[in-house]
Amino acid sequence: VPNGAVNPRGEQAQASNTYDYVIVGGGVTGLIVANRLTEDSKKSALVIEAGGADDNFNQRIPYGATLALNTSLLWADYVSDPEPELANKTWNVRVAEVLGGGSIVNGMMYDRGSAADYDAWEQLGNNGWGWAGMYPYFKKGTKFIPPPQKTAKEFNITWDPKAYGNGPLKLGISDFQYPDIKDYFAAFKGAGAHMALDGNNGEAYGASWYANTMNPETGERSQARNSYYEPVSSRPNLHVLLKTVATEVIFNGTGKSLTARGVTVTDKLSNTSRTVYAKKELVLAAGALNTVKLLQLSGVGPKSTLEAAGIVVKLAHDGVGANFQDHPYTFLGFNISNMSTPNPLSLTTDPAFNASAWAQYTANHTGPLTQARGNTLAMIPLPEVAPQSYKALAQQIDKMSPDAYLPSIYTGSKKLLAGVKAQRKALSTIFKSDKAAVVEYPFSASGSMILVGLEKPLSRGYVSINPANPQGPPKILYNALTNPIDKSVMAACVRYIRSVWARPELKKFELVETSPGAQYVSDEDIIEKMVELGSIWPTLAHPSGTCAMLPEDLGGCVSDKLLFYGVEKLSIVDASILPIIPSQHLQSTMYAVGEKAADIIKSRG
């Protein structure tokens, strides 16, 4: 446990009230920015993290990523509002509260979006945030350690060495793979999917091998803390306060001439509060839900929301909490026969295999227990998913009234609606592209369950403080599948994977659909049955977009220089800034955003 590293610094930090940079949130982006900004020994930074430092074995061993999540490392009692299109059910919202943030509790998938995902951001007016501007930062932060040649050869594992650098975050693919994975690759290939050399080089469409945030040299999880904080924790100019919550941004001035001066923080153990000041910049890295909460608590957000909570409005802005996105998903279930052994079930069903896996892990830190949730993904573009209807679906987007199917915060907000219009144009282009995915299938060596993740939803949700308890858990409305196009795309994605599972390459497994059942074929029947079964979820734990980086007249909160419009010395660097959610699991993007953000902030001098 890095307490030795963290606590003394924390105590030291108690003595100081002013730093060049104060960073709220010691998660993925917060720790990267803290590391890079303190490379200059003359610049000081303080990181404020609500959670503690955790070194639980289940977080470290990759296999632990497949087990039930340790909820003590999450923000307690975050529950979504009833979801109108999902039978008004509510969901537990998973957001990390621990040094290292999401990287400590996540599923360890490391997959980047395709070039088109980031190019869409640039087309919305964010200069330098297209693939050409992001790729150097993806590389800078990572080091890929290849699997043994024998494994690579046997399973045709390919990678693009040019897609990685010599960075702090170690990535790897387990030396152990289950034999049937080859048949699933063959089926996607047979279905016409692109077989990328490495989906992480901008070609995240088709079926590909992907790394985990796993260090093959130790057989353990790589995360933001052991990659970006521990190696530099002895820097005297970097302090971290653990178990400390930021509760209010302190401003100078009023209206359009606000300057962020610092932030009030509460030590959770002693329940005492004080204010820490930032000479150069206050950097928000609290994640897509908690950054919104902090800003609204500080009087920055939609006027109606702030007034309902009795908070004095410092800066009215409809965009704080709007544009909320995540990846909704569903599962299909199949009966399966004739699986090879070992297979993904063997660790739980075959005691001898389990024992040998543990013996291997203990001796060498290799083997089946270095697999997290898998190394294979199929990311499929809409023209392949729905060759007959993709053009019509794109046209539906083009024709949709800009104010249709949106949360009430959008009503009458010209800027937010202009942003919706611009985003829909970008999404319509992606729907027609054969180089950008609309769906993910994280396939494994067993087709008995397949996740279908909607990567480019049109629906938008809303996050806000709870007027009845502003300091408590925020109100979180995913609003999943409220835009009917999302339902059509999800249903098409269900039909597509059925067609792959029915291919000759998988015939020997005699896959028979049990859920929702092959008799549900039309869009309506598929979605209705899945809602009834409760098998559609509104979130893959990828909350984003809630303080979008967009031009101000498109409802953006921060510019492409990450500064909040109308406020001096206040920037946001976390997943709130993503204008459109990329087609990937978010962490790789957040690692790159952290690296890029640090350079942008440094360049201000």
Ligand X SMILES: Cc1cc2nc3c(=O)[nH]c(=O)nc-3n(C[C@H](O)[C@H](O)[C@H](O)COP(=O)(O)OP(=O)(O)OC[C@H]3O[C@@H](n4cnc5c(N)ncnc54)[C@H](O)[C@@H]3O)c2cc1C
Residue whose C-alpha is closest to residue 291's, from 465, 417, 124: 465
What are phi and psi for residue 450, nearest 5 degrees?
Answer: -135, 130
Query: To the nearest whole angstrom, how small is the minimum distance from the Cβ of residue 584 to ligand X?
Result: 7
Residue whose C-alpha is closest to residue 492's, from 515, 524, 514: 524
* Residue 26 in the binding site for ligand X (CB under 6 A): yes
Tell the residue number behind the tokens 């908070």, with chain if given. Answer: 311
Contact status, residue 96 vs residue 417, Cβ threshold 8 Å: no
The four Cα atoms 34, 38, 43, 48 give a dihedral, to 10 degrees, of 30
> Residue 354 to residues 176, 292, 367: CA-CA distances in angstroms?
13, 44, 11
* Residue 50 in the binding site for ligand X (CB under 6 A): yes
Q: Binder to ligand X among 109, 320, 450, 536 (CB under 6 A)? A: 109
- How far is Cα 1 from Cα 52, in angstroms, rounded to an integer? 10
Q: Binder to ligand X among 45, 245, 380, 409 (CB under 6 A)? A: 245
* Chain centre to alpha carbon of residue 311: 30
* Residue 28 in the binding site for ligand X (CB under 6 A): yes
What are phi and psi for residue 357, nearest 5 degrees?
Answer: -65, -40
Residues ≥6 apart with Cβ < 8 Å to 281: 20, 21, 22, 260, 569, 570, 571, 601, 604
Identity at 294, one-letter amino acid code: L
Burial of 272 (0-12, 13-18, 19+ CB in 10 A): exposed
* Residue 596 in the binding site for ligand X (CB under 6 A): no
Binding segment toward ligand X, per CB under 6 A, in 49-57, 229-237, 318-326, 338-346: 49-57
Shorter beta-carbon distance to ligand X: residue 294 or 554: 294
* Residue 108 in the binding site for ligand X (CB under 6 A): yes
Measured from the Cβ of residue 233, the count of other Cβ atoms closer than 10 Å reads 17
- Give the count of residues interacting with ligand X (CB under 6 A): 41
Shorter beta-carbon distance to ligand X: residue 487 or 596: 596
* Residue 106 in the binding site for ligand X (CB under 6 A): yes
Shorter beta-carbon distance to ligand X: residue 247 or 340: 247
Closest residue to ligand X in the complex (CB): 27
Q: Binder to ligand X among 103, 222, 343, 444 (CB under 6 A)? A: 103
* Residue 163 in the binding site for ligand X (CB under 6 A): no
Query: To the nearest whole angstrom, how small is the minimum distance from the Cβ of residue 7 to ligand X?
Result: 17
Contact status, residue 574 vs residue 288, Cβ threshold 8 Å: yes
Binding segment toward ligand X, per CB under 6 A, in 25-33, 161-169, 403-411, 489-497: 25-33
> Residue 148 to residues 176, 184, 207, 250: CA-CA distances in angstroms?
9, 22, 21, 53
Shorter beta-carbon distance to ligand X: residue 164 or 390: 164
Q: Binder to ligand X among 2, 27, 62, 367 (CB under 6 A)? A: 27
Number of residues that make up the chain: 605
* Residue 285 in the binding site for ligand X (CB under 6 A): yes
Shorter beta-carbon distance to ligand X: residue 16 or 408: 16
Residue whose C-alpha is closest to residue 398's, from 426, 417, 418, 419: 426
Shorter beta-carbon distance to ligand X: residue 46 or 485: 46
Query: To the nearest whole angstrom, how small is the minimum distance from the Cβ of residue 327 to ligand X?
Result: 10
Query: To the nearest whole angstrom, how small is the minimum distance from the Cβ of residue 101 to ligand X?
Result: 2
Tell the residue number behind the tokens 């404020």, with chain if given. Answer: 48
Shorter beta-carbon distance to ligand X: residue 364 or 471: 471
Residues 532-591 that bind ligand X (CB under 6 A): 541-542, 574-575, 585-588, 590
Binding site for ligand X (CB under 6 A): 24-30, 48-51, 69, 94-98, 101-103, 105-109, 245-246, 285-287, 290, 294, 541-542, 574-575, 585-588, 590
